[in-house]
Amino acid sequence: DDDRFAPVFSGGSLARTYEGWYVDDVLVGPRVDPGPTPRPLALRAGPNPFRVNRGFAATITFRFSAPDGLPHTELSPRVRLYDLAGRLVQTLDASPDALIPSEFRATWNARTEKGAVAASGIYFARVDILGSNQTFRVVLLR
């Protein structure tokens, strides 16, 4: 059993082969964990548009992640819904997702803060978390 190492370069092979392995200029150090990758805040919602039938309000779920990619169980972010006139329609408390700790979820049942079913139209959902904010358009059909 003859173990030999023969490096090959793009121009061909070296004139000699060497027994064993020779490795030069290798730096060995502790493993560095790069940690979570920061990302822009991305508010998502579905289904959109969503429909209310005969007084029964379907729901729409808003999902977003903390921009630093870390779980934040101590935070209580809110999703605020506004109508086209800029009036606050509903405030939703978001909670951490059970499977993805850095992701939050909030569900809207198409009701206003007074408990009435919201009118058909376009609404804007806004989330503020860790100094970042984003607004997302939602369409409600009745």
pLDDT tens digits along 117-141 = 999 999 999 999 888 899 999 999 9
The predicted model gives 104-127 an average pLDDT of: 94
What are the start-end ranges of the E strands in the chain?
4-5, 8-9, 12-13, 18-19, 44-46, 50-53, 56-57, 60-65, 78-82, 88-93, 95-96, 103-108, 121-129, 132-141
The pTM for the full model equals: 0.69
pLDDT tens digits along 27-49 = 777 777 776 666 778 888 888 88
pLDDT at 114 over 80: yes
What residue ranges define each of the domains in the chain, with the CATH number in brackets? Answer: 44-141 (2.60.40.1930)
pLDDT at 55 over 60: no
pLDDT at 51 over 80: yes
Q: How far apart are CA 57 and CA 109, in angstroms?
A: 6
The predicted model gives 16-22 an average pLDDT of: 60
Predicted confidence at residue 122, as pLDDT, reads 96
pLDDT tens digits along 78-101 = 999 999 999 999 999 999 888 887
